[in-house]
């Protein structure tokens, strides 16, 4: 085995394979670096979009809350008006009850004064 000769073709193929592996590794490193840069940009962009969306949502919710408070105030005013109307109706009912009682006592006191035809007896 002293005179082992390797054909030049085999040596050339091995050198080409090593060169190809080095080139492929360099391409992979470049691709990974590009992907890391893209992911970093996307992360920053997503953080900015999330911040903008959060601000928009908070503003919309604040406006909705303000509208709800306004509607609640309107409802309280309507309830106040209804309570005043109910109070007035109850007052009228009380006066009617007093008048009915007075008429009942008047009728009882003057019962028999008039006959059925409306003339006095």
**120, pLDDT greater than 70:** no
pLDDT given for residue 42 in this prediction: 87
**0.85 surpassed by pTM:** no
Which residues in 13-38 are b (16+ Cβ under 10 Å) and which e? Answer: eeeeeeeeeeeeeeeeeeeeeeeeee
- Tokens for 76, please give them: 């309280």
Residues 54-101 have pLDDT tens digits of: 999 999 999 999 999 999 999 999 999 999 999 999 999 999 999 999
pLDDT given for residue 43 in this prediction: 87
Residues 36-52 have pLDDT tens digits of: 999 888 888 899 999 99
């Amino acid at each position: 085995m002293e005179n082992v000769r390797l054909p030049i073709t085999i040596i050339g193929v091995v050198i080409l394979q090593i060169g190809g592996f080095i080139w492929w590794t360099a391409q992979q490193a470049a691709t990974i670096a590009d992907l890391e840069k893209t992911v970093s940009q996307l992360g920053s962009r997503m953080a900015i979009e999330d911040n903008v969306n959060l601000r928009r949502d908070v503003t919309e919710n604040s406006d909705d809350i303000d509208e709800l408070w306004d509607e609640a105030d309107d409802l309280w005013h309507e309830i106040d008006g209804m309570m005043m109307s109910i109070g007035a109706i109850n007052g009228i009912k009380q006066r009617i009850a007093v008048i009915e009682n007075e008429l009942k006592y008047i009728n009882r006191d003057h019962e028999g004064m008039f006959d059925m035809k409306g003339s006095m007896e």
